């Protein structure tokens, strides 16, 4: 399943879902402006981003050192 999405360049819809939670900012809530929205990503999303960051870090460091 993961290999298919990597080879075809498609992301499964379950990987692209998030939950939005509203965190109250004040004690007396009157409007939606009194809440701060945050998005809760899937754990798999965080794993994929971390793996990509680890893999491209050496390339980015090498390229930045050339241009400086």
pLDDT tens readout for residues 3-59: 666 677 676 666 667 788 999 998 898 888 899 998 887 777 778 888 999 999 998
pLDDT for residue 55: 93
Among left, alpha and beta (phi > 0; psi -120 to 50; other), residue 9 is left
Structural domain range at position 38: 2-67
Q: What is the pLDDT, as a whole number, of residue 53?
A: 93
Q: What is the pLDDT of residue 7?
A: 72
Residues whose CB is less than 8 angstroms from the CB of residue 5 and which lie 6 or more positions away in sequence, other chains included? 11, 12, 15
Query: What is the model's pLDDT at position 41?
Result: 74
Number of domains in the chain: 1
């Amino acid at each position: 399943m993961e290999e298919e999405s990597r080879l075809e360049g498609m992301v499964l819809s379950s990987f692209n879902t998030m939950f939005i939670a509203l965190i109250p900012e004040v004690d007396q809530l009157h409007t939606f402006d009194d809440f701060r929205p945050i998005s809760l990503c899937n754990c798999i999303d965080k794993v994929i981003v971390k793996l990509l960051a680890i893999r491209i870090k050496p390339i980015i460091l090498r390229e930045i050192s050339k241009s400086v």
